Amino acid sequence: PTLYERALEEAETFLKPGPQDRLVDLYCGTGTTLRRWLDSGARVMGVELAGEAVECARLNASEAVLLRGKCVERIPQLTAWLNEGGDWAGRRLLYVNPPRTGLEPEILAWTTDVARPERIAYLSCSAGTLSRNLAVLTESGYGVERITPYDFFPGTRHVETLVSLRRLGTV
């Protein structure tokens, strides 16, 4: 739990969400991260597949817009939410914590071609899928600012990795 908290602190420090920002949290789980982004003042939308996790997220972050289902099935709602209020001048931010299979190709395409967040914090549990996804993100105009490994499960070969990415040309 201490290392997970440290990883979330690092993600929040990098993303710097605030009242003018819209933050999409994919694979949001039970709402721990949603709560954190809401407490920063950001407008937040989360997507989670697991029904029990969604129910917990509704309790933990009731102010967030929460969608249940596969992330790829929620692309239309995510896009509409990001585009609400055409004169909105805030930043788009993305936090992802996908399963071992990584980000689906459709989510990667949506991220790079439609959502185009200024900053992405990507917490990965698989070095292989992270590498594959980072290749797409960096080829699409994102630069890696920092990579931090976290040994959430001591005594095993599993290592979580937090990657901070910034869209090139943004501050």
pLDDT tens track for 51-69? 999 999 999 999 999 999 9
Please give the span between the terminal C-alpha atoms of the chain, in angstroms, as a whole number.
Answer: 31
Angle at 135 between CA 111 and CA 96, to 5 degrees: 40
What average pLDDT score do residues 41-50 get? 97
Residue 86, pLDDT score: 67
Percent of the chain's residues with pLDDT above 70: 98
- CA dist 5 and 12 (Å) reads 10
Stated pTM of the model: 0.95
pLDDT at 79 over 70: yes
Q: Give catalytic residue positions.
A: 125
